[in-house]
Amino acid sequence: MKTIGLLGGMSWESTELYYRLINEETKRVLGGLHSAPVAMVSVDFHEIEQLQAQEDWDASARLLSEKARQVEAAGADLLLICTNTMHKVAGEVADAIGIPLLHIADATAMRVKASGIRTVGLLGTRFTMEQEFYRGRLEKSGLTVLVPDDEDRAFVNRTIYEELCLGRLNSASRQEFLRIIDGLHAKGAEGVIEGCTEIGLLVGQEHTDVPLFDTTRIHASRAVAEALK
């Protein structure tokens, strides 16, 4: 099995889930006492969040590229950036390393299309919901992407940074997420992408009949499949 490289810490709550999911999937596939070879560098999310707030993507790209090279130097054969939003600089990171970068939006689009769904809602940070680097990549794959209105996008973004990235799971926020998911479904979304790696900690498939696509789980599962090729 190839060594899976994780560029994590954005936030550590979701990176912890990545590690567990990758090893659970490895054990499911290989059985016995098998676990995944993993090389990880975890960043200080405070620094990343400050750069996001300033929309200083050049500095973000330099920082994550440096950390990605450290993951490669530790023996990784492929790289996962363990966050949706920072795929804003995925191209620069990919160019800085000599190993493949497994893009979370590509893995997600593949899973959505395999389900037969073509119109999908997207939840995430405001960058993920609004900007071309993620939403546009899904659309180029053949999906029609719907996002919430301005007020609901602001709520989702605020909840991610002020609650989920701090490990706070609020039942009232869950109900609001479910209302937003139902609204996207009413507008024609056949399913909804949880396009922030922390959202799945709050809202799971057990909470709604609308098909959900948890990008953390999809990305982790795809990494194991690629590592076993």
Residue type, 43: V
Catalytic residue among 196, 197, 215, 216: 196
Yes or no: say if 93 and 65 are a contact pair by the CB < 8 Å rule.
yes
Catalytic residue selected from 83, 128, 159, 197: 83
Distance CA 228, CA 187 (A): 39
* 3-class DSSP state of 39: strand
Active site residue 83: yes
Does the annotation count 82 as an active-site position? no
In 54-190 the beta strands, taken as DSSP E runs, fall at 78-81, 119-123, 144-146
Whole-angstrom Cα distance, residue 134 to residue 148?
15
Three-state DSSP class for 222? helix
Cα distance between residue 162 and residue 90, in whole Å: 25
- What secondary structure, in 3-state letters, does 157-215 show? HHHHHHCHHHCCCCHHHHHHHHHHHHHHHHCCCCEEEECCCCHHHHCCHHHCCCCEEEH
Tokens matching residue 161: 């940074």
Give the active site residues.
83, 196
